Amino acid sequence: MDVVVRSAEQITPRIKSFELNDPAGAPLPEFEAGAHVDVTLPNGLVRSYSLLNHPGERNRYVIAVLREEAGGGGSAWMHDSLKPGDVLSITPPQNRFELDEGGDHNFLIAGGIGITPILSMAERLDELGIDFKLYYCTRNREETAFAELIEERFGERHVFHHDGGLREQMLDVEALLRVREPGTHVYVCGPPGLITAVRNAAHDWPKGTVHFELFGSGRVEIATENKPFDVHLKRRNLTFHVPADRTILEVLAENDVRVRSICREGYCEVCTTRYVSGKVDHRDSVLDPEDRKTMMQICVSRALPDETLVLDL
């Protein structure tokens, strides 16, 4: 579907938000808290962006984009070239990060650009009158997107945690999640380190109460549509074709190149592999931005379009 950009606003030095409308002013398809749309960029790349506005709104979708210099160029194009009046091609909203409206108490934890789906969830819980507290982790006040809006909308139900970008000053999620009342859910969206910390702290919570989605340096820049690509193994001097419906790990196994794996979903770190060249479409939920410059999880991650990956195997 096509949408028209109604407004573009610089929210923080690195985050810009865009309001999208139906070109004819018609109501947009409904969405639920946590939903995203896939945006097709002029270079054919597909990017996923969460809808951050109130899920009851039908007149607009609001997305926010973190500028990532190390990404595939998608966020830079959104920041530099997309302007009011432009038409964007998007998918209708889809949801892989659903809000369970049956929870009695909810921790909403966001890191950086991961605030986007969490904001929509907070709006929905507020509307339903369900208990929640929003924890928003950023480096400092300047990089805290929608700070005034959050203060105004959610009052004492929010906590800003500024860590100065230092891991040792990260929100103490273990202490936060140590005491859990019955019927409590936790939702976390942000960089891999934050997600891992929450999942570890809540490892013994009942099934279905811990919800997470990777954002920050990874999720936002995921090309959601699988494309085929070639992978070259440097030490063996072998090249394999990875079809759209296969992972690197599967293709290597079929060709008798064994790499250890356990979860095959990008979170156990067992299949971590060093790559030598090529741009990676990181889809794991564990590697931090520094690790991602040289390592990838070959059970889930792929090559960005038109890239050939060279692995240190």
Binding site for ligand FES (CB under 6 A): 261-264, 266-271, 284, 297, 299
Give the nearest distance from C-beta 301 to ligand FES in angstroms: 9
Q: Which CB, 125 or 299, lies closer to ligand FES?
A: 299
Q: Which CB, 111 or 192, lies closer to ligand FES?
A: 192
Q: Which CB, 106 or 297, lies closer to ligand FES?
A: 297
Which candidate, 192, 142, 148, 146, places its Cα nearest to that of 170?
Answer: 192
Our separate counts of H helices and E strands in the chain read 7, 18
Give the nearest distance from C-beta 231 to ligand FES in angstroms: 15
Give the nearest distance from C-beta 256 to ligand FES in angstroms: 18
Give the nearest distance from C-beta 205 to ligand FES in angstroms: 21
Which candidate, 188, 199, 273, places its Cα nearest to that of 236?
Answer: 273
| Cα 59 to Cα 112: distance, rounded to the nearest angstrom | 26
Give the nearest distance from C-beta 192 to ligand FES in angstroms: 11
Q: Which CB, 143 or 284, lies closer to ligand FES?
A: 284
| Cα 27 to Cα 121: distance, rounded to the nearest angstrom | 21
| Cα 286 to Cα 238: distance, rounded to the nearest angstrom | 28
Residue 201: DSSP 8-state: H
Decide if 185 contacts 102 (C-beta within 8 A): no
Query: β-pairing, 272-277 with 309-311?
Result: antiparallel
Helices within the chain (DSSP H only): 74-80, 115-128, 147-154, 173-176, 192-201, 248-254, 289-292
Q: Is 148 helix (H, G, I), strand (E, B) or coil?
A: helix
Query: β-pairing, 302-303 with 280-281?
Result: antiparallel
Q: Which CB, 16 or 302, lies closer to ligand FES?
A: 302
CA angle 216, 51, 79 (to 5 degrees): 60
Q: Which CB, 53 or 273, lies closer to ligand FES?
A: 273
Q: Which CB, 270 or 276, lies closer to ligand FES?
A: 270
Give the nearest distance from C-beta 268 to ligand FES in angstroms: 3
Decide if 78 contacts 71 (C-beta within 8 A): no
Q: Which CB, 238 or 262, lies closer to ligand FES?
A: 262
Give the nearest distance from C-beta 67 to ligand FES in angstroms: 28
Give the nearest distance from C-beta 194 to ligand FES in angstroms: 18
